[in-house]
Every structure is written in C-alpha cells, then in structure tokens.
C-alpha cells in the first residue's frame, strides 16, 4: 500500500528532477548557440564573400532562431511540470499527518513563505534609533537590480528559461538582416 510518505518522497524527487532537467536544457541551448554564433561570425568575416557564403549565413540564422523558439517552449513545458509537481507536494503537506507536530511549518519544503520575487521578500524591520526604518531583503543585490530594471516578471528563474531563448531568437533575426545585407 502506498502511503502519503511514499508519494511525498516521489513528488520531491520529481520536483528535483524537473528542476535539473530545465537547467540542463538551458545549458545545452547556450552551448549549442555559442558554437552556432561563433560559426556564423567565422563565416561572416571570411575573406571571399560569395553567394554560397550568404546561404550558409542565412541557414545558421534560421537554425538558431528555430532552436530558440523550440527551447523556449521546452522551458515553458518543463516549468509547467515543475509547478504541477510542486503543487501536488504542497497539497500533500496540507494533510494532517504529513509532518510530525514538532516540526515547524518553516521547515516544510513546499509550504515555507519564501517567495520567488525579490519585491515580495522585502521586509521592514522594527524602528531603530530616531524612528528610522530599515529594509532587509532575502535577495542578493544582483537579483534586486535585475528586478528594478526589468520588473519582477523577468527576475525569477522560471522566466529566464523562456526569455533567454527568445533573446537568442532576436539575435538571430539581427544576424539574418546582416547576412542578407552582406555584399
């Protein structure tokens, strides 16, 4: 008979696995596209421009743009699986016998109050001397600056897996224009 503990253990492993797969896919995408951009740049600066070279440049751009769209969709799908598994684990944690009563809720992996956005993690500390209030953040300074510049939508890791491939697609569109204009 499968117990809540067994199911919870499986869901925890599925969350870890889905997270790992998502980031490995992005790593593979970045590696492949680095090679593709380098190949494009090498062909672009070749000493003898000819129509065949233009065809190769355009092919690199089409391949790169298509891979960006496909990888963004893979990132979106991978994060959907991760969210689904995490929601199922949260539901299991709400069961009355999920954890021993002496374990505080802050130690439950999927019920803690840590938010994904730096804006949500800002807390106001009690007034210090002279009635001043200080803000403390659970986020690193780069995360705070990133969210200030682009907003909380783009500051979370779940968005990076979709935004980075689309940025590469935009880069390949620019390279496509440069390829066509090459004489």
Per-residue pLDDT of 110-121, as tens digits, reads 765 445 444 444
Q: What is the dihedral of CA 30, 36, 42, 48, to 10 degrees?
A: -160
pLDDT at residue 112, as a whole number? 54
Closest CA to 140 of 156, 115, 118, 155: 118
pLDDT at residue 90, as a whole number? 85
Whole-model pTM above 0.85? no
DSSP letter at 97?
T
Going along the chain, which residue ranges are E strands?
A: 123-124, 135-136
- For range 5-10, the mean pLDDT: 85
pLDDT exceeds cutoff 60 at 55: yes
pLDDT at residue 33, as a whole number? 96
DSSP letter at 50?
-
- For range 144-167, the mean pLDDT: 66
- Distance from chain centroid for Cα 61: 23
């Amino acid at each position: 008979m499968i117990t809540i503990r067994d199911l919870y253990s499986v869901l925890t492993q599925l969350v870890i696995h889905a997270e790992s797969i998502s980031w490995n896919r992005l790593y593979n995408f970045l590696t492949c596209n680095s090679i593709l951009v380098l190949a494009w740049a090498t062909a672009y600066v070749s000493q003898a421009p000819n129509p065949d070279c233009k065809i190769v440049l355009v092919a690199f751009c089409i391949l790169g743009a298509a891979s960006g769209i496909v990888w963004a969709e893979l990132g979106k799908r991978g994060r959907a699986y991760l969210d689904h598994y995490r929601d199922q684990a949260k539901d299991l944690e709400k069961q009355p016998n999920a954890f021993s009563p002496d374990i505080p809720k802050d130690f439950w992996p999927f019920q803690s109050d840590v938010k994904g956005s730096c804006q949500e993690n800002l807390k106001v500390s009690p007034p210090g001397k002279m009635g001043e209030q200080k803000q403390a953040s659970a986020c690193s300074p780069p995360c705070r600056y990133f969210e200030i510049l682009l907003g909380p939508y783009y500051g979370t890791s779940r968005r990076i897996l979709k935004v980075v491939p689309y940025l590469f697609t935009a880069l390949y569109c620019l390279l496509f224009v440069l390829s066509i204009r090459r004489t």
